[in-house]
């Protein structure tokens, strides 16, 4: 290590890791807002703040690849990730410098939720994917710069990081609520980013204006991306989740907060009524309605909702239009039945399609009895 590198290393060790500190403060601040908004029940309103939810991303809310990086589902969740940022994030930031650290952290976090979206249908949130990215960068560092790190120190660093990653991934595979796909994605994302980012403490290249300008532009773009995603989520329609089976929630639907739940269904802004039925809990009358909608002689449009087959049935009854989606899942049926006046139907049709996008089928129903 050159004298210049030693001076940089000493300065880094004595400096405050600004980026990690700001991320930690931001995470805590957001959690306080979530806690107050949910009156202590963070999970009930987490979606409103931008958790990773496949159905919402499919509906066009791509910013949910970014917003979940800064959200947490419980005090324990925040505490674990906060301590990890303090113990490990501070060290990585001192190594890479605040600008490169921000790019590394954000890139690993986004990749973690892209992999989670690809492999896991379960909603998720948290900084752990980005933190696993720091682990990935920590693993790349002694391998990429092996000629600058003594073999004994290199072996110790690799051993500690591999052990930490293995333990945390092992815990994740044993707990259903842990999104291990996000962890694996973050680990890979951080390792990839570290291949293109030179740690500032080892960067003894002569000053180059073009390189510094590019790095600053990337940091500004990353900061603007975070702000833009936050604003988009703030301005996005606020959704609430409706579960028809409190004891066995095998499916649920998310609807905008302004849609009114009434005894006979959901009243839409267009004035139309939306009725939700599934064959597991359906009354005899509702079962007859489902049979009527899916009769062989009824004009139907075959399509898919997510990965499940469905039919769409539209028919006019006097001055009203009935438009329904009937989804087949695990041997059962889920129906969304819209009743609208002819005048309001163009808007009501769009509202129905939006409701269908908000359906999430979690698993096969258990004890399927009416």
Q: Annotated active-site positions, please?
A: 128, 183
Contact 358, 239 (CB under 8 A): yes
Please give the C-alpha separations between residue 211 and each of 85, 190, 197, 200, 205, in angstroms, as whole numbers. 28, 21, 12, 13, 11
Would you state the structure tokens that stand for residue 138, as one six-digit string?
């920590």
Q: Residue 126 and residue 8: Cα distance in Å, rounded? A: 32
From the list 18, 58, 29, the residue with the least C-alpha distance to 357 is 58
User: Where are any strands of DSSP class E within the chain?
Assistant: 239-243, 251-256, 260-262, 265-267, 273-278, 301-305, 308-317, 320-329, 332-341, 359-361
What are the residues whose beta carbons fall under 8 Å from the beta carbon of 258, sequence distance 6 or more?
238, 269
Q: Which residues contact 206 (CB under 8 A, 6 or more apart)?
A: none
What's the angle, vertex CA 360, arms to CA 28 and CA 236, rounded to 5? 50
Tally helices (H) and strands (E) across the chain. 13, 10
Two structure tokens written together for 47: 């979606």
User: Is the Cα torsion angle 121, 126, 127, 128 positive or negative in sign?
Assistant: negative
The pair phi, psi for residue 39, each rounded to 5°, is 50, 45
For residue 266, report the phi and psi dihedrals to the nearest 5 degrees: -115, 125
């Amino acid at each position: 290590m050159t004298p210049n590198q030693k001076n940089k290393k000493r300065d880094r060790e004595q400096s405050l890791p600004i980026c990690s500190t700001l991320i930690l403060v931001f995470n805590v601040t957001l959690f306080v807002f979530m806690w107050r908004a949910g009156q202590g029940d963070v999970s009930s309103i987490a979606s409103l703040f931008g958790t990773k939810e496949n159905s919402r991303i499919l509906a066009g809310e791509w910013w949910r690849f970014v917003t979940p990086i800064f959200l947490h589902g419980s005090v324990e969740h925040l505490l674990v990730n906060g301590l990890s940022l303090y113990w490990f994030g501070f060290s990585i930031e001192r190594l890479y410098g605040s600008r490169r650290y921000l790019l590394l952290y954000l890139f690993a976090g986004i990749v973690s939720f892209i992999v989670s979206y690809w492999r896991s249908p379960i909603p998720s949130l948290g900084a752990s994917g980005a933190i696993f990215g720091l682990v990935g960068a920590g693993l790349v560092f002694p391998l990429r710069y092996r000629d600058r790190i003594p073999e004994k120190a290199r072996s110790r660093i690799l051993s500690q990081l591999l052990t930490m990653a293995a333990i945390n991934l092992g815990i994740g595979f044993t707990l259903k609520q842990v999104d291990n796909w996000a962890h694996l994605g973050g680990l890979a994302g951080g390792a990839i980013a570290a291949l293109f980012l030179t740690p500032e403490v080892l960067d003894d290249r002569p000053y180059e204006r073009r390189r510094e300008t590019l790095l600053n532009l990337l940091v500004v773009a990353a900061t603007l991306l975070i702000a833009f995603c936050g604003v988009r989520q703030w301005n996005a329609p606020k959704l609430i989740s409706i579960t028809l089976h409190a004891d066995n929630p095998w499916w649920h639907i998310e609807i905008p907060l302004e849609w009114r739940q009434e005894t006979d269904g959901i009243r839409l802004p267009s004035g139309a009524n939306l009725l939700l039925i599934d064959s597991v809990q359906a009354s005899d009358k509702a079962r007859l309605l489902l049979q009527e909608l899916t009769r062989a002689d009824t004009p139907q449009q075959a399509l898919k909702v997510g990965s499940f087959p469905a039919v769409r049935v539209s028919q006019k009854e006097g001055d009203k239009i009935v438009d329904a989606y009937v989804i087949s899942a695990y041997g059962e049926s889920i129906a969304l039945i819209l009743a609208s006046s002819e005048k309001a139907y163009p808007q009501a049709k769009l509202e129905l399609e939006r409701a269908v996008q908000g359906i999430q089928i979690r698993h096969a129903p258990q004890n399927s009895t009416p």
